[in-house]
Structure 1
């Protein structure tokens, strides 16, 4: 008999500035962010090759954005995947801010630290 599949689990890892998605206790991917003045600036999302094609990036980003909403922050989608996700999921439009040159300069400085 086959064991039932364990649902992917998303957790926020504040000390590493990212959300991680795990499958069967193994980290399968992440979406990275930095916080700025009430905004959560997402700049990178990746899913490990061994877990590709399972829709995990979508699960990860949706749960991360729902966490942002519940925290009262706003989303800035520098990450191309997060930006693409937001175009398809207008339910987050009310908490999404545009990517501006100022945000990009700030992010470059924040990541250099």
Structure 2
């Protein structure tokens, strides 16, 4: 008997500023972002060790970037994985903005505002 392939599900969790990927209902990973006007600034992507090696980060980021396009926003790839993905997928070049010192400073300030006190 062979295992049936399970389709990963990607969904945005806007109140937590992230997209999640789940396999058969189990949390498998996330990519985190902050919105800066019309830009969606991606700053962290992680796949749980139990799900690594399955190409899930690529599925997650592709679906997140497709959602950014559908929302009429632009991508800023602070996250190294998102930056690497964009280097291999030029179909998102038209909606990608460069990472600038101003964006990095803004992201740092946004993180400080959300830090637990």
TM category (shorter chain) comes to over 0.9
The alpha carbon displacement at 1:2 in A equals: 4.1
Structure 1, residues 17-48: CA drift from partner, whole Å, max 9, x if none? 00000001001000000000100000000000
| Structure 2: tracts of 5 or more residues without a match | none
User: Do residues 38 (structure 1) and 38 (structure 2) align?
Assistant: yes
User: Tell me, what secondary structure is at the counterpart of 2:5?
Assistant: coil
Q: CA deviation at 1:86?
A: 0.1
Unaligned runs of 5+ in 1: none
Give the Å deviation of 1:5: 2.4
Please name the residue that 2:11 is paired with.
11
CA distance in 2, matches of 1:3, 1:101: 48
RMSD: 0.8
TM-score (structure 1 length as normaliser):
0.97
Moved over 4 A (4+): none
Residues 50-81 of structure 1, C-alpha deviations (whole Å, 9 max, x = no match): 00000000000000000000000000000000
Distance 1:99 1:105 in 2: 11
d(CA) in 2 for partners of 1:48, 1:3: 21
Distance 1:2 1:90 in 2: 36
